[in-house]
Structure 1
Amino acid sequence: MKLREQKSFVRFWTASTTSNLGTYITTIALQVLVVVNLGGSAVDVGWVSASRWLPYVLLGLIAGVLVDRFHRKTVLVVTDMGRGIIFAFICLLAVIGVLSIGWLMILLVLFGAMSLFNDVAYRSFVPQLVPRPLLTRAYARLEQSAAVTETGGPAIGGGLVSWIGAPFALLVDAVSYLFSGVLMASVKHQPSDKVKVGPLGQQIKEGLQWVYQHQYLRTLALNTHVWFLFHSMTMTVLVSFFLIELGFDASHLGFALASAGVGAVAGTSLSTRAGARLGIGRAMAFSRILYAPAVIVMALAPATNTSDSLNIALIFAVVGQLLYGFAMGIEGPLEMGYQQYVTPSHLQGRMNATLRSINRSVVVIGAPLGGAIADELGFLTALWISIAGLALCGLWFGLSSMRKAQIKEYEI
């Protein structure tokens, strides 16, 4: 049984890769739009960024119920088209000079809501395209593409912004979403099980019970929530640590952060082999244990006073980012594949929404918490607190029953 023979998945994969590339272009284009075109401050950049994630906190659990009630392909097509229209509208408002920070935030809240429903449907749709034994391999391919676009997207986005300006760079992203929506509409799939429509609260409760009462999903979910807390703290502190403590400029920062994408490509390439050789649970435990050493390497980078010490610090940062990205690459496909494998079709949307919304809610806490600790106690202290938390997650995962989790008929 070969993944490339699953023609519907190949179309889905192509659509996903296209929209992912556009997303990473947007990350840079929006920041430039706020600061350069709209004359915004760093605080404005923060508020604009937060507006994209607000729907995940407010609507996450509800999204899971609604996605389970509708055809997932329809949700994917509508939300891709909708996101393309929103970015085209932002470009138009910017060009005619009527766009403001407030209007941009409102439009990005709508964009975030569509992204929420798209994310939930996206994760729940893959089991309708490939047989369950191929799920981890399918997610490995999707994660490989995501890692490649994460590595190249910012560079392409920076070039586009310099060439045609931030508003028109967003228009390029709009085209990518529209193309993804058209291609997604052509995907053929197995119909999902019909969900019995009941009270909204009861259906949310069913999703929560499935995740937090399952023998293995409970441990995976709780450990991942805590991991996201310390991961978000780490990512918040690292950028400032690189720029201020180590003296990196923008090019050094971009090179270091891109290394995580390179590591992720390597990790996803080995993910299915690791799952087959070690078992799904043990392979995920291995990756969780790698995060703390990766951040330790970066925390040990020497402060820079000369060009030689700057190069040494850059090597520490690159190695740490490579290892961190490698761990994420190993874990990502296995984690998503296992979640989909053990969850019945009619609960897929609610399971995905439960995990994703709570993880994103934790990020809303962890990111400012990491910044506050860094401001009060210093970058290194904040990093070592994050290291301790990541190490705790790795130890907890490795000693839990989750290490025994497996997918039957797993094959390379």
Structure 2
Amino acid sequence: MTGELGGVSRHAAFVRFWVADAVSNLGTFVSTLALQLLLIETLDADQVALGVVRAAQWLPYLLFGLVAGVVVDRVRRRPLLIGADAVCAALLATVGLLALTGHLTVPVLAGLVFVVGSASMFFSAAHQSLLPTIVPASSLASANARLSQTYAATQSLGPLVGGALVRLLSAPVAVLVDAVSYAVSALVLATVRVDERRPEATGHEHDRHLWTELREGARWVYRHATLGPYAVSLHLWFFANAVVTTVLVHYATTELRLDALAVGLVLAAAGVTGVLGAGLAPRLGVRFGTGRVITAMEWLSPAAYALLLLAQPGPYAVVWPLAANALFGLGLGLKGPLEMSYRNLVTPDRLRGRMNATIRSLNWGSIAVAAPLGGWAAATWGDRTAILAGVVGLAVSAVVLWCSPYRRVTVEGERPAVTVTPAR
């Protein structure tokens, strides 16, 4: 495993791509906590307002996500990544400055994060689709493992840094740190050298029609024997997970009475175990098969969040949230590199942008519905009830995937069950 990761690290373009990703993710996890604490402590927002702002961030995926996939498949992806990073840097700097000067309101924040979410939507579709161009197919699982480990590491460090910045300085300063991270990411991506050719037309002009391409991408995902049930399960997972994560910080700060640094520690736990899981994922995939590993790890999400319900205010209030996020992060780390590699390997390059955008648009778009719904449920019946509803939803998602053909899939080099040859 170490040799495999060392192999991808010898690709200069991948190393720069990886560094940009790490810097951007670190800033994102800083501001993820900072924005919630800014709403709770500075703007005195309740769970409903938290849900509305979070919905605004992910609403672009629901509205324009499929179109983003078509755009990504029509243009070079690296320039799109650079432009999206630059837009996010400018808008988050605006959020921080408005908050520092006392001019930020919940509606203004919702509008700004909507535009940030729109830029991030294009970035995400292009980011996932560019990686197979940077590294060879044989190194894709290892490259995804390295990115997943780094993501998990920043998931640990980011909330700690964010909590410390909020406690020592302020939430607006923490948001400004994220703005700087996006700017650095754009500069590093500008130095990535990759042989990325402009996508060619399919041979007939009508094949480049927007709706034709949208339908082609959706058909590829939902009519595919294994990608179809995987996508449906993932949509359910994101919806249920959003219900929990929308109220988690409010639950920790108001009911469990944890301070900003303690909340940062709780969120960081997922990253620590995620690094471990991502490092083990390729080896476990070879040993047991991609499908078996992923479907087994799906059960860790509802089990982990169920532990949150055991927490009580007091000197040990942080224990169960720490355990819950640690278990949750382990599951994500173990399945993340495998599922990203699988779905990109089985999809032709000309469809990767639309495939990733189709899946992600409904994944992240569902948050636009789940976040305000979870906030409303928490405000009406309490945070614990909302968390319990999320746990039930995650269990349903696990059942859907477990009962599908996805459980038996493998890729080349793994022990055979239902072997899927990577698309050429």
Report deviation, 1:52.
1.9
1:303 aligned residue: 312
1:226 Cα deviation from its structure 2 partner: 1.5
The equivalent residue for 1:258 is 268
Distance 2:278 2:245 in 1: 21
Moved more, 401-410 or 204-213: 401-410
Q: How many residues align?
A: 404
Structure 1 counterpart of 2:404: 400
Q: Which moved more, 1:18-27 or 1:87-96?
A: 87-96
The code of the aligned residue for 2:75 comes to F
- TM superposition shift of 1:374: 4.4
Specify which of 345, 350, 356 is matched with residue 352 of structure 1: 356
Q: Which runs of 5+ in 1 are unaligned?
A: none
Q: Which moved more, 1:290-299 or 1:221-230?
A: 290-299
Deviation at 1:174, TM superposition (A): 2.4
Does residue 126 of structure 1 match 2:131?
yes
Give the Å deviation of 1:161: 4.1
2:78 to 48, 54, 73: 73
Partner of residue 282, structure 2: 272
Quote the offset at 1:70 in angstroms: 0.7
- For 2:78 and 2:266, the matched residues in 1 are separated by 37
Residues of 2 paired with 1:98 and 1:129: CA distance?
43
Shift in CA distance, 28/248, structure 1 to aligned 2, threshold 3 Å: closer
Q: 399-408 vs 98-107, which deviates more?
A: 98-107
Q: CA deviation at 1:48?
A: 3.4
* Counterparts in 2 of 1:155 and 1:319: CA distance versus 1, 3 Å: closer
Measured in 1, the distance between the counterparts of 2:32 and 2:391 equals 27
Following superposition of structure 1 onto structure 2, how do residues 55-204 of structure 1 map, counting pairs within 5 Å?
55-93=60-98, 100-163=105-168, 165-191=170-196, 193-196=199-202, 198-204=208-214
Distance 2:279 2:173 in 1: 34
Q: Distance in 1 between matches of 2:253 and 2:41?
A: 20
Q: TM-score, normalised by structure 1?
A: 0.88
Partner of 1:389: 393
The equivalent of 1:17 in structure 2 is 22
Deviation at 1:75, TM superposition (A): 0.3
Q: Deviations over 1:356-411 (max 9, x none)?
A: 11012222233333344445555555444433332333233223210121121369
Please state whether the residue corresponding to 2:196 is helix, strand or coil: coil
Give 2:215's aligned residue. Answer: 205
**Mapped partners of 2:326, 2:260: distance in 1:** 18
Say if 2:57 and 2:116, in contact at 8 Å, map to a contact too.
yes
Alpha-carbon displacement from aligned partner over 1:12-46 (angstroms, at most 9, x marks no partner): 00001011111122224434555666x45335554
* SS of aligned partner of 1:5: coil
* SS of corresponding position for 2:413: coil
Q: Distance in 1 between matches of 2:372 and 2:49?
A: 15
Percent same amino acid at aligned positions? 38
Give, in whole Å, the separation in 2 of the partners of 1:383 and 1:107: 28
> What TM-score do you get using the length of structure 2 for normalisation?
0.86
Q: Residues 369 and 92 of structure 1: is their aligned pair in 2 closer, same or farther, counting only changes over 3 Å?
A: closer
Give the match's secondary structure for 1:343. coil
Q: Deviations over 1:30-77 (max 9, x none)?
A: 34555666x453355544333222212211111110111110001011
Shift of 1:203: 0.8
Task: Judge conservation of contact 1:68–1:195 (CA < 8 Å) in 2.
Answer: no
Q: CA RMSD in A?
A: 2.7
C-alpha displacement of 1:287: 0.4
Aligned equivalents of 1:107, 1:248: Cα separation in 2: 28
Unmatched tracts of structure 2, length 5 or more: 416-424
- Give 1:303's aligned amino acid: Q
Distance apart, 1:137 and its partner CA: 1.6
**Contact 2:51 2:373 (C-alpha < 8 Å) held by counterparts:** no
Shift of 1:98: 5.3
The Cα of 1:262 is off from its aligned counterpart by 1.7
Structure 1 pair 234–47 and aligned structure 2 pair: CA distance change class (3 A): closer
> How far 1:141 moved relative to its partner?
1.1
Which shows bigger deviation, 255-264 or 353-362? 255-264
Farther-moved stretch of structure 1 (235-244 vs 353-362): 235-244
1:214 corresponding residue in structure 2: 224
Name the SS of the counterpart of 1:53 in structure 2.
Answer: helix
| Matching residue within 335, 338, 355 for 1:334 | 338
Q: 2:226 touches 2:404 (CA, 8 Å); kept in 1?
A: no
Query: For residues 241 and 339 of structure 1, what CA distance do their matches in structure 2 show?
Result: 35
AA partner of residue 184 (structure 2): F
Displacement after TM superposition at 1:249 (Å): 4.7
Are 1:195 and 1:346, in contact at CA under 8 Å, matched by a contact in 2? no
Q: Which moved more, 1:118-127 or 1:81-90?
A: 81-90
Counterparts of 1:106 and 1:211, CA distance in 2: 31
Distance verdict in 2 for CA 1:253–1:118, change over 3 Å = same
SS of equivalent to 2:208: coil
Residues 286, 131 of structure 1: CA spacing in aligned structure 2 closer, same or farther, 3 A cutoff? same
The one-character-per-residue Cα deviations of 1:98-124 (angstroms, maximum 9, x if unpaired) are 555444433332222111111110111
Change (3 A) 1:82 1:302: closer
The one-character-per-residue Cα deviations of 1:167-223 (angstroms, maximum 9, x if unpaired) are 444333222212211211111223255344621111111110010011110011011
Question: Which one of 287, 291, 295 corresponds to residue 281 of structure 1?
Answer: 291
Aligned with 2:391: secondary structure?
Answer: helix
**Separation of aligned partners in 1, 2:264 and 2:273:** 15
Residue 8 (structure 1) aligned with residue 13 (structure 2): yes
